[in-house]
Structure 1
Amino acid sequence: MASESLSLQLEVLGKAFIRMIQMVIVPLVFPLIVLGIAGMHDTKKLGRVAVKTLVYFEVITTVIIVIGVIIGKITHVGAGFGAVATDPSYLDNLQKGIDMHNFLLDIIPSNAIMSMAEGKLLPVIFFGIFVGLALVAIGEKGKPVIELFEAWTQAMFKVIEYAVSFAPIGVFGFIAFSVAKYGVSSLLSLGQFVAVAYIAFLVVALVLLPLVAFIFKVPYISLLRNIWDLILLSFTTRSSEVALPLLINRLEKFGCNRSITSFVLPTGYSFNLDGASIYASLAVLFISNAYNVPLSLGQLATIIIMLMVMTKGLAGVPSAVLVVLLATATEMGLPAEGVALLMAVDFFVDMGRTAMNVVGNSLATVVVANWEGEFKPNSVATEKVSA
């Protein structure tokens, strides 16, 4: 009993590690966005990269949502589960839906400094784009600011190195806490959903994304080898934000142009959440089957369209994917208790979901860079593939 209490207290180690990384995210992402835009030199290139990026995000996440629905139908995930008495009070504090009107307005910060303080990436990216454009417009006068940001980003990367040295301690704290709090036996009843979710993650990671990489001539295996430790880090900490600053640096070393990486990767954290997309589609099918609420083809099409739109706003909404799931389930007449039920195993699914987000956004960055002719594979990466 005392050991269990101690294990629960060790969560503070994991949270401390997460905060050490989080404190660098906005101070790093903002200047990188500015430098990325300023480095493009012309607005035509920026517009071209933005269009390619958003089109890629929309197509890939839509395909992933469809895959999730297909896997859910094939496996009949949740079927025979029976109506389980679950306390929906877990959902009382969740935002009950996503107001797209407010979401779009929130992208434009009324106070850029406040958005930075609150860690809201979309407003920070929006503001950074305009600062970058302004620096391009004023030409030589903007060079001192660019040089300052160059030095600042190098300092932030050094801070990240310091923080990462505490990673083993932080991960140990999270694992000890998770085992003590959730156990294993009490969660076995929902093991079917967890298993199917991981099968879906593997289908995307080992079938869809390699196909995409082949089409765009991206060395997918080499990419995974170069970021495997960051995938593992995001998996164990359940935080893709932890990997963001490290990924920006890693992908640049992998061969991606900095201006592309600095724009695509942070944007992907809001618009290209592959793991969240497949989870949401699977979860809706699970709730439908668990509560024996059949869905017609028209309803399945509606679910796909709803998730296509709503999964693009995850970064700006509290409770993220659970809010999207709740809104979709409610719209389709599915019981809110089903969402509360899935929260019991969300810890386990969230690990794979987060890692999948990191893999998807890493590939997206390399794809767009290669699409623009701004990807020059690092010789070390090439050696790893041939080895």
Structure 2
Amino acid sequence: MKKRIPAAAWIFGAMLLGVLAGYLINTCAADKQQAAQIADYISIASDIFLRLIKMVIAPLVFSTLVVGIANMGDAHSVGRIFAKSLSWFITASVVSLGLGMVMANLLQPGLGITLPDTGAGGGVVATGSLGIKEFVSHLVPKSFAEAMAKNEILQIVVFSMFFGVALAALGERGKTLLGSIDELSHVMLKITGYVMLAAPVAVFAAIAATVAVNGLGILLSFAIFMRDFYLALLLLWTLLVAAGFAFLRRRIFRLLALIKEAFLLSFATASSEAAYPKLLDALDRFGVKRKISSFVMPMGYSFNLDGSMMYCTFATLFIAQAYGIELSLGTQLTMMAVLMLTSKGMAGVPRASLVVIAATLQQFGIPEAGLLIILGIDTFLDMGRSATNAVGNSIAAAVVAKWEGGLLSEQEAQAAEQAIQAEAELKLHA
């Protein structure tokens, strides 16, 4: 059986080919105008990809968010754990988004990059006057159909939250409709997967068009972007471990040792979901009762994507900086609020952060074409943020278990781990 080439390899190869093609166009074209014309034709592929991304945003947010809320179960039976988990998730989300914003403003990774103006959002962001009053008023849709037609993500999120809560309240009567929406979410995930198959072509077109117009010098700036992002991720890891230490004390280092394999798996595959079984096993060995880990972990994959959320603010501000768009502090805080909401409906979506960023760029009048520039290096960034998501969810589950009295003592955990190892050896010999 032939081995499939990983998607990351296709994207990396497309990026290298794009650099080569762009360099050849830049050096062989008669003048800059001719290079720009050729780049314009090449960018048709990336424009189509962007439109496909926009096509799936609205139904994807609606279906995944409704299903996630409706499946939370009876609030009376799980309310306490849910409230404690949600309080941790919200705090972690604010810290992650805020850290991304602070680091992007401090490091200014987008400065010095000159991206071609697409006519959408040059100089001053179109929504710069979006204040608290306008933001709150804009939250509530006049019509759900209108919100879907215009891709008004915030309004779709608000309607989806009402819809999900009401659907959960119906109990058995709502199971049929919930099942249908769940099927819709799977269809949209499948469509998103199909769209992402075109990512290598879009990467090639985006990189080639950019290098054709700007030359090879622009690539250095993206190396700086990757360096700055991983520096920000390192700070986020430090904060997560420090928060875990505050509640778990020295046991946090034992937890980190146990999730090492899951961390590496999520990093290598660029998927935090791929490490889910390993994380549950590690939490069992650490002493977290399964009734807590099996509830908190799935919630975490919807509400606690720390690495992805930090990337959303960092990358969005990077694109704004690259286009020379100045965003006031008020606008950036509003953007954080937008990302806080929109990111909650994207669990399990391939390249979920890109979909969220695309929606945010559109919301704030920043050219979406900037998204395609970072798409070429997104695979390497996705590895870091996926691993961060896995670490954040593991620490969250352990802390909630500590709060709930569902965490075994060190001695009990060691005995449980020995029992798990003995059972595994029996299965191996059998």
Q: Sort the TM-score into its range (normalised by shorter chain).
A: 0.5 to 0.7
Q: Is the 8 A contact 1:240 1:354 kept in 2?
A: yes
Instruction: Give the secondary-structure state (helix, strand or coil) at the position aligned to 1:216.
Output: helix
**Could you give the per-residue CA deviations for residues 69-104 of structure 1, whole angstroms, max 9, x where no partner exists?**
000011011111111589x9xxxxxx9563214543
> How far is 1:106 from its partner?
5.9
* Map of 2:157 onto structure 1: 100
Question: What are the within-5 Å matches in structure 2 for residues 233-382 of structure 1?
Answer: 233-315=265-347, 319-379=351-411
2:103 counterpart (52, 57, 71): 71
* Map of 1:23 onto structure 2: none
2:242 counterpart (202, 207, 211): 211
Q: How far apart are the structure 1 equivalents of 2:93 and 2:316?
A: 16
AA at the equivalent of 1:235: F
Q: Is the 8 A contact 1:222 1:381 kept in 2?
A: no
Q: Is the 8 A contact 1:253 1:378 kept in 2?
A: no
> How far is 1:332 from its partner?
1.8
Alignment of 1:11 with 2:6, yes or no, is yes
Q: Which has the larger radius of gyration?
A: 2
Q: Is the 8 A contact 2:240 2:392 kept in 1?
A: yes
Q: How far apart are the structure 2 equivalents of 1:13 and 1:294?
A: 33
Instruction: Give the secondary-structure state (helix, strand or coil) at the position aligned to 1:341.
Output: helix
> How far is 1:266 from its partner?
0.6
- The aligned length equals 285
Q: How far apart are the structure 2 equivalents of 1:119 and 1:332?
A: 26
* Map of 1:60 onto structure 2: 92
1:192 counterpart (208, 218, 224): 224
> How far is 1:118 from its partner?
7.4
Q: Is the 8 A contact 2:254 2:286 kept in 1?
A: no
> How far is 1:245 from its partner?
2.1
Q: How far apart are the structure 2 equivalents of 1:382 and 1:281?
A: 41
- What is the TM-score normalised by the length of structure 1? 0.65
Which region of structure 1 is more displaced relative to structure 2, 103-112 or 73-82? 103-112
Instruction: Give the secondary-structure state (helix, strand or coil) at the position aligned to 2:260.
Output: helix
**Could you give the per-residue CA deviations for residues 247-294 of structure 1, whole angstroms, max 9, x where no partner exists?**
122212211011110100011001100011100010111011111111
**In 2 relative to 1, CA 304–13 (structure 1 residues): closer, same or farther, beyond 3 Å?**
closer
Q: Is the 8 A contact 1:226 1:381 kept in 2?
A: no
Q: How far apart are the structure 2 equivalents of 1:343 and 1:14?
A: 13
Q: Is the 8 A contact 2:109 2:221 kept in 1?
A: no
Q: How far apart are the structure 1 equivalents of 2:376 and 2:310?
A: 18
Identity percentage over the alignment? 36
Q: How far apart are the structure 2 equivalents of 1:317 and 1:243?
A: 15
Structure 1 residues without counterparts, runs of 5 or longer = 1-5, 16-33, 89-94, 121-176
> How far is 1:217 from its partner?
2.5
**In 2 relative to 1, CA 43–299 (structure 1 residues): closer, same or farther, beyond 3 Å?**
closer
Structure 2 residues without counterparts, runs of 5 or longer = 11-70, 121-149, 168-174, 187-199, 208-215, 416-430
Alignment of 1:227 with 2:264, yes or no, is no
Q: Is the 8 A contact 1:103 1:316 kept in 2?
A: no
> How far is 1:63 from its partner?
1.2
**Could you give the per-residue CA deviations for residues 220-240 of structure 1, whole angstroms, max 9, x where no partner exists?**
221111011111101111111
Which region of structure 1 is more displaced relative to structure 2, 234-243 or 273-282? 234-243
> How far is 1:339 from its partner?
1.2
Question: What are the within-5 Å matches in structure 2 for residues 16-35 of structure 1?
Answer: none
Q: How far apart are the structure 1 equivalents of 2:374 and 2:234?
A: 20
AA at the equivalent of 1:209: L
**Could you give the per-residue CA deviations for residues 80-133 of structure 1, whole angstroms, max 9, x where no partner exists?**
1111589x9xxxxxx95632145433685645666777786xxxxxxxxxxxxx
**In 2 relative to 1, CA 85–295 (structure 1 residues): closer, same or farther, beyond 3 Å?**
closer
- What is the TM-score normalised by the length of structure 2? 0.59
Which region of structure 1 is more displaced relative to structure 2, 313-322 or 295-304? 313-322
Q: How far apart are the structure 1 equivalents of 2:387 and 2:219?
A: 21
> How far is 1:312 from its partner?
1.4
**In 2 relative to 1, CA 97–340 (structure 1 residues): closer, same or farther, beyond 3 Å?**
farther
Q: Is the 8 A contact 1:96 1:323 kept in 2?
A: no
**In 2 relative to 1, CA 64–13 (structure 1 residues): closer, same or farther, beyond 3 Å?**
closer
Q: How far apart are the structure 1 equivalents of 2:7 and 2:354?
A: 24
Which region of structure 1 is more displaced relative to structure 2, 64-73 or 242-251? 242-251
Question: What are the within-5 Å matches in structure 2 for residues 86-125 of structure 1?
Answer: 98=153, 99-101=156-158, 103-104=160-161, 105=163, 110=176
AA at the equivalent of 1:338: G
Instruction: Give the secondary-structure state (helix, strand or coil) at the position aligned to 2:365.
Output: coil
**In 2 relative to 1, CA 13–360 (structure 1 residues): closer, same or farther, beyond 3 Å?**
closer
1:80 counterpart (112, 124, 127): 112
Instruction: Give the secondary-structure state (helix, strand or coil) at the position aligned to 2:327.
Output: coil
Q: How far apart are the structure 2 equivalents of 1:52 and 1:344?
A: 38
Q: How far apart are the structure 1 equivalents of 2:116 and 2:409?
A: 52
* Map of 1:159 onto structure 2: none
